[in-house]
Amino acid sequence: MAAEQLLSVKDLRVNFHTLRGVVHALQGVSFHINRQETLGLVGETGCGKSVTARAVLRLVVAPGEIAGGEVHFEGRNLLGLTEVEMRTLRGSQISMIMQEPKMSLNPVIRVGRQVGETLRIHDPSMSKKIAAQQAVDMLAQLGIPDPKRVARRYPHELSGGMAQRIMIAMMLVTRPKLLIADEPTSALDVTIQAQILELMNRLIQEIQTSVLMITHDLGVMAESCDRVAVMYAGQIVEIGPVRDVLKDPRHPYTQGLLKTLPDKAHPDEPLYSIKGAVPTLLSAHKACGFAPRCAHRFKPCDEAPPPMHALGNGRRAACYLLGDYAGVPG
C-alpha cells in the first residue's frame, strides 16, 4: 500500500528583488514527505534549502516573494490560505527549528515560560500552571538534568547544546505533524551533535511526526533520514531513498558531493573539491545549472534544463546522461 503524503510541494518558485536584479532563489522545486517520514534536504550553502523551508511556512518576506507553485499540507494549499489561517498552523501543525537557537529565544524571558507560552498560544484555555508543568516535562524528556532549575534560566545562561534542547522542546511540545529542522546541529561540536540527533530521533518516533531535515552534513543525513533530496542552485537534482543515493549516486553533482567526504580521500592526495562556483541565480536556468562545473558536460547540457528521469524505487534525477543520451561520453 502506498504511503500517505503529508506535504506535497509542486513547482515552487521564489524570487528576491535586489539592486542587481531578480534573484531566482527557487526554480521549480518539487518533492513530497510521507507521514512519519524524514526527508533530508542537502546541498551547498546558498542552494535554496532554507528558502524552501521558509516558503513552506509562508515566511518569505520582502524583498522576497513566492512567485508560483503549490504547497499542499494534508490536502490544503498553504499558498491559498489567509495569514490568520497560516498562524493557526505554524507552531501547532508545522514547527521549525532555526539554525541559531540563542538568536531565536527571547533573551529577557525564562526558557521554561517560553516553552509554556508555545502551548498557550495554540490553546488559550490552558492555565499557566499546566503549561509550565508540561514545559518541564518536555525538558525532562530531552534528558535535561534538573529541568525545573533549567526552566528558570534565561537564554544567556545556557550552553549552545542546552539552548538547542530548549528550541527542540518549544517546537515539539505541541506535537506537530511536520517538523522542519534547519541545520539543527550546525553550531554544535561533534559530541553534542550526536546527542541532539539521538534525542530528536527518539522524540520524533514517539510523537510520530514527519520531518524535513535541512543540512549540508551528509553524515547527519545518513543517520537521520529515510529519503534525501539533493539541491543545487535553486533546484532539486536528485531524490530517492537515502541508502540508495549514498551507495549509487546518479547525478554528477551528488557524485561530487560524496567525493568531498574526508574518508573518500587517499592519504597522499588532497581532498577533492568540485571545481567552479555556484551561479549567482540572477537569471533563471535556461540550460543545466550544473553544466559549467560538470566533467560530463556535452551539447544538450547547454541547450535546455534536463528533465527529471525516473530511475525506479522512487528515485529521480535530472541529468541528460540518464535519459535518451545514456551511455554518451561526457
Low-confidence ranges of the chain (pLDDT < 70): 1-2, 187, 264-265, 325-330
The C-alpha atoms of residue 188 and residue 143 are separated, in whole angstroms, by: 17
pLDDT for residue 98: 81
pLDDT for residue 204: 86
pLDDT for residue 223: 85
Quote the cell numbers at residue 213.
531535515
Three-state SS at 76: strand
pLDDT for residue 270: 83
pTM of the model: 0.90
pLDDT for residue 324: 73
Nearest residue to 176 (alpha-carbon basis) of 304, 88, 287: 88
Quote the cell numbers at residue 269.
592526495
Please report the domains of the chain, with CATH numbers, ordered by start residue: 5-92+177-282 (3.40.50.300), 94-175 (3.40.50.300)
CA 67 to chain centre: 20
Quote the cell numbers at residue 50.
532554507
pLDDT for residue 1: 44
pLDDT for residue 7: 97
Nearest residue to 69 (alpha-carbon basis) of 236, 281, 254: 236
CB atoms within 10 A of CB 305: 17
